[in-house]
Amino acid sequence: MFEKLSATQPEIASQLSELISKDEFPSSSLFHGEPCSGRMFAAMSVAKEMGVPKENTIIVSDRNHSYRIMSAVALLRKSRNKAAKDFLKDSVNVLLQQYHGALMDEQTATAKKRFSDAAEVSELMEKLDKAQDNELDSLLASIEKFVLALADSNRTQAISVGQVRAIRDWCSTSSMDGEKKLVVVEGLENALGAAVNAFLKTLEEPPANTYFILISANPGRILATILSRVRKFRFQALDKERTKYIFNSLFINPNKYESLEQFFLEGGGIDDAKLKSMAHSLVATHNADIPAIVAELESCKGWDIFFSHVVDELYRGRLDGSIDPRKADYLIEGINEMVSKGRLFNQNKRLTFDYVAYRTKEVLG
């Protein structure tokens, strides 16, 4: 049980195995820790080990799936082996689970078109196993086209009141043969208060045979009354040996990348070193070429990554004494709040950037 997870998160795998074997898995859980630490993989592994059918699993997430999926597509184009194919299937499946039929009625007409696109991707993925080598590139190009559109449109708020109601109604409907249901919610800390409160009521009276797993990198921002109702599982950041295990399992040179995140970003067309350099120029050197930064970010769509690097630069300056702690804290709080609001209301990233650039220059001078 949890063989693959045991290689990267042995303590978590042991805890989950014991709980499931004793039929004591909690109705509400929180998988928290650093990004790329296996939280979503663990949630999907729980579904498998508990025998939850694919059609009985709903995922609501505000993560950008495009980086991982682009990396998986590029890997399969190059390697053309079963490991790469399974990696792509697992990556796309997480995105498709967000287009569960139970959520369709709560969507706008424009959003419902994306449900149709998701169905198209599902059909393309079914063809993947039967595709001949000479058909693979064309099939991957079609998958890539639809997936990127879905991944880009998906980055709005983590969960809405309408989605909570739809999930609650779906969970309350009895499954055939009493089958279990699983709801995975990632990014609840970024949702509107009304949605959070509605979700809290659902956790207070969880439907029978239904399990909720929250995924978060910032559990401190989740409502305290929700945290009090979940069993917490802390995922450790992957060290070099565990990262090497994952790369080896995918037949990737483990010395080529320092982390999974670097692999995903490069596969998604992101030059992370360049974004770090631009963030450094904005915070530390005060001679940033703003038009050049904007042009790069518009080209690679790496806005959120750039914002996180700016915050990292501020933390670094605070620690080494190059930035006044009060100024650093003020900017960090303001930037995090602006980025969160931008994601919540699906705001144009350029507006968020203008705030970050202007406020940083104004405060640091």
Q: At residue 218, does pLDDT exceed 90? A: no
Spell out a b/e string for 91-100, using b for 16 or more CB atoms within 10 Å of the CB, else e. bbebbbbbbb
Return the pLDDT at 242: 94
Q: At residue 88, does pLDDT exceed 90? A: yes
Return the pLDDT at 106: 57
Q: At residue 39, does pLDDT exceed 70? A: yes
Number of neighbouring beta carbons within 10 Å of residue 28: 18
d(CA 11, CA 55): 29
pLDDT digits (tens, 9 = 90+) for 24-34: 999 999 999 99
d(CA 171, CA 111): 22
Sequential DSSP letters for 145-193? HHHHHHHHHT-S-S--HHHHHHHHHHHHSPPGGG--EEEEEE-GGGS-H
Q: At residue 230, does pLDDT exceed 60? A: yes
Contact assessment for residue 73 and residue 143, using Cβ atoms and an 8 Å cutoff: yes
Taking all residues of the chain, what is their mean pLDDT, rounded to a whole number? 89
Contact assessment for residue 345 and residue 358, using Cβ atoms and an 8 Å cutoff: no
DSSP label at residue 258: S
* Run of H or E residues at 260: helix 260-267
Sequential DSSP letters for 203-242? HHSPPTTEEEEEEES-GGGS-HHHHTTSEEEEEPPP-HHH
Q: At residue 156, does pLDDT exceed 60? A: no
What number is the average pLDDT over the span 352-362? Answer: 93
pLDDT digits (tens, 9 = 90+) for 232-271: 999 999 999 999 999 999 999 989 998 998 899 888 888 8
Per CATH, the number for 20-235 is 3.40.50.300
Smallest CA-to-CA distance from 30 within 310, 204, 219 is with: 219
Do the strands 210-216 and 57-61 form a parallel or antiparallel pair, or are they unpaired?
unpaired
DSSP label at residue 281: I
Domain boundaries, the chain: 20-235, 270-364
Number of neighbouring beta carbons within 10 Å of residue 162: 14
Q: At residue 158, does pLDDT exceed 70? A: no
123 contacts: CB under 8 Å, gap ≥ 6:
none
Label residue 151 by pLDDT band (50, 70, 90): low
Question: Would you report the helix, strand and coil content of the chain in percent, each value rounded to 5?
Answer: 65, 10, 25
How large a percentage of the chain has pLDDT more than 70? Answer: 94
102 contacts: CB under 8 Å, gap ≥ 6:
58, 166, 167, 169, 170
pLDDT digits (tens, 9 = 90+) for 102-135: 887 655 666 677 888 888 999 999 999 888 889 9
Return the pLDDT at 107: 58
Return the pLDDT at 310: 94
Residue with tokens 């169905």: 119
Per the DSSP assignment, residues forming a β-bridge with 210 are: 181
Q: Tokens for 344?
A: 């919540």
336 contacts: CB under 8 Å, gap ≥ 6:
311
Label residue 176 by pLDDT band (50, 70, 90): low
Return the pLDDT at 190: 79
d(CA 188, CA 330): 24
Least confident of 149-158, 165-174, 301-310, 326-335: 149-158
pLDDT digits (tens, 9 = 90+) for 197-212: 999 999 988 888 899 9
Residue with tokens 């399974």: 86
Contact assessment for residue 363 and residue 330, using Cβ atoms and an 8 Å cutoff: yes
Q: At residue 146, does pLDDT exceed 90? A: no
Locate the DSSP E strands across the chain.
28-33, 57-61, 181-186, 210-216, 231-235
Return the pLDDT at 182: 96
What number is the average pLDDT over the span 165-172? Answer: 90
